[in-house]
């Protein structure tokens, strides 16, 4: 895989950003990872499948994640996350003029790509959102929620454990072990990261009728981290979405039992979207 680095900062925060191109480029996709992880975790499963569809793949580690700068698990604001995504999209457009641009977001990344389309004027060719973080599937302790809301007003950058159980990311033990052993994975979260994302998830559900880009949604019914029923609700509120529920699937569908089938659903949908784009030219 040919990996090329992008020189990128968000204000004074260095951002680890990179891309890979197939020999023939029909379009580009910007991939947005989930909370606590990083773009490198998509290197050996998702990205090769996207390259097969003749898509250039643009990746980055979000603020406070992976090899990017910033305090682990903290960001300046929710809008900062959308502005950074907009910057990456601009890079993808510049390097792929006149090509269709797609967004692919997992979990928190799914929250961001959906909200990007809802809040920012764009002409995206399509969106893929897997296990989008619209609503948690578990209820955090009441004391933590109360304390977090107080800290949001007083010390928004303070971090505490996210409460995510690594055993719930996949039904494949080897994938869970890799996640736990990954030195770039963390479980820290600040009030400024958590509460605005929760609010944005609820807002996206309620405003889903305004989605402009056609959107592919995938969610496992066995997800114990993010509630698949919230994704169902967003789908019901929109005329632009196609929903695939993966029976019994855990949170990281691309690293779970049946991942090949999941990636094929995504690959075929993107291929058909590319064909439709070029047929309309």
Helical (H) or strand (E) element with 104? strand 101-106
Q: Give the per-residue pLDDT at 154.
A: 85
Domain coordinates in residue numbering, the chain = 3-279
pLDDT tens across the length of the chain (281 residues):
889 999 999 999 999 999 999 999 999 999 999 999 999 999 999 999 999 999 999 999 999 999 999 999 999 999 999 999 999 999 999 999 999 999 999 999 999 999 999 999 779 999 999 999 999 998 777 767 777 787 788 889 999 889 899 999 999 999 999 999 999 999 999 999 999 999 999 999 999 999 999 999 999 999 999 999 999 999 999 999 999 999 999 999 999 999 999 999 999 999 999 999 999 87
């990281």: which residue's tokens?
252
Token pair for residue 10?
A: 């968000």
Report the pLDDT value the prediction gives residue 116, as an integer from 0 to 100.
98
pTM above 0.85, yes or no: yes
Backbone angles phi, psi at 207, to 5 degrees: -115, 15
Question: Can you read off the two tokens belonging to residue 240?
Answer: 């632009």
Fill in the DSSP letter of residue 213: S
Taking alpha carbons only, the member of 162, 131, 129 closest to residue 145 is 162
Which superfamily does CATH assign the domain made up of 3-279 to? Alpha/Beta hydrolase fold, catalytic domain (3.40.50.1820)
Report pLDDT for 152: 81
**Contact (Cβ atoms closer than 8 angstroms) between residue 61 and residue 68:** yes
Decide: residue 201, CB within 10 A, 0-12 exposed, 13-18 middle, 19+ buried.
buried
Could you tell me if 161 and 148 are in contact, meaning their C-beta atoms sit under 8 angstroms apart?
no
Distance in angstroms (rounded) separating the CA atoms of residues 160 and 166: 16
């Amino acid at each position: 895989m040919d990996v090329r680095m992008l020189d990128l900062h968000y204000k004074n925060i260095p951002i680890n950003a990179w891309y890979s191109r197939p020999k023939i480029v029909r379009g580009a996709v910007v991939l947005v990872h989930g909370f606590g992880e990083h773009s490198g975790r998509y290197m050996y499963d998702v990205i090769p499948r996207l390259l097969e569809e003749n898509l250039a793949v643009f990746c980055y580690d979000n603020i406070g994640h992976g090899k990017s700068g910033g305090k682990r698990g903290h960001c300046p604001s929710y809008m900062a996350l959308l502005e950074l995504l907009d910057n990456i999209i601009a890079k993808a457009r510049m390097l792929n003029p006149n090509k269709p641009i797609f967004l692919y977001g997992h979990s928190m990344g799914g929250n961001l790509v959906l909200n990007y389309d809802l809040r920012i004027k764009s002409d995206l060719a399509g969106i893929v959102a897997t296990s989008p973080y619209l609503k948690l599937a578990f209820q955090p302790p009441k004391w933590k929620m109360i304390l977090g809301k107080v800290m949001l007003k007083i010390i928004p950058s303070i971090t505490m454990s996210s409460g995510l159980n690594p055993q719930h990311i996949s039904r494949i033990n080897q994938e869970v072990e890799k996640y736990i052993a990954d030195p770039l994975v963390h479980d820290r979260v600040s009030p400024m990261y958590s509460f605005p994302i929760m609010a944005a998830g609820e807002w996206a559900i309620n405003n889903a009728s305004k989605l402009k880009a056609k959107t592919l949604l995938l969610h496992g019914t066995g997800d114990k981290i993010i509630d698949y029923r919230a994704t169902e609700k967003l789908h019901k509120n929109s005329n632009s979405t196609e929903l695939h529920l993966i029976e019994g699937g855990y949170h990281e569908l691309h690293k779970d039992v049946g991942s090949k089938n999941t990636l094929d659903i995504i690959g075929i949908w993107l291929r058909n979207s590319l064909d439709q784009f070029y047929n309309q030219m």
